[in-house]
Amino acid sequence: MDDQLPGSDNTSKLSNLKNNDQQTPTSQIYTTTPADGFSETMAKAGGGNKHAQVALVDMYRDGQGVSVSRDDTKAMDWCLTAAAQGCTIAQNNIGSMFDVGQGVLQDYTKALLWYFRAAEQGYAAAPCNMGSMYSNDRGMAQDEAKGME
């Protein structure tokens, strides 16, 4: 199966993902173990598996995994690839990377746009991130009421 998670007993987890990947933290969606390794994750990501793509984002952003050093540019590239497939986790991550300037120039307008895309599709963390931007005067005039919406 193209988007099978590593390991042999992921059928129920995978069916839950297809129904609700917007609410599941990346660490619960796709984890790598020494048996799975970076190369298997890379192969699945290259084959279009958006969950593997997001796992690579985490690996590159945090410099974790076998022979993976931190590379924010690669993290953003994989985020954009997964986001193009409608992955709300990736869309929210792109917002976060623009919000703090990780791998890209800090751009609050772009951060808000990406958070909004993820929020529109039901990703629960995205409205919180948008609220934080409004409440803390990041990219727009501080608006406590708007931040609480």
In a domain, 75, yes or no: yes
- Convert 65-83 to b/e letters by CB count within 10 Å (16 or more is b): beebeeebebbbebbebbb
- Amino acid 105 reads L
Q: Is residue 6 part of a domain?
A: no
For 41, 80, 82, the CA distances from 38, given in Å and listed in that order, are 5, 19, 17
Q: Which pLDDT value is given to residue 145? A: 61
Is 99 inside any structural domain?
Answer: yes
62, part of any domain = yes
Is pLDDT above 50 for 6?
Answer: no
Please tell me the predicted confidence (pLDDT) of residue 63. Answer: 83
Q: How many domains does the chain have?
A: 1
The pLDDT of residue 125 is above 50:
yes
Range scoring the smallest mean pLDDT among 12-21, 28-37, 108-117: 12-21
Q: Which of 38, 93, 94 minimizes the C-alpha distance to 69?
A: 38
Compute the average pLDDT of residues 89-98: 96
pLDDT score recorded for residue 144: 58
CA distances from 75 to 35, 82, 117 (A): 22, 11, 19
Instruction: Tell me whether residue 3 is in a domain.
Output: no
115/125 Cα distance (integer angstroms): 9
Task: Tell me the per-residue pLDDT of 71-92, one tens digit each, with 9 for 90 and over.
Answer: 999 999 999 999 999 999 999 9
Mean of pLDDT values over 99-104: 92
Residue 29 in any domain: the answer is: yes
Query: Alpha-carbon distance 77 to 128, whole Å?
Result: 24
Tell me, what CATH number does 117's domain have? Answer: 1.25.40.10
With pLDDT > 70 as the criterion, what percentage of the chain qualifies? Answer: 68
Q: Is residue 45 part of a domain?
A: yes
Q: Which domain holds residue 32?
A: 11-148
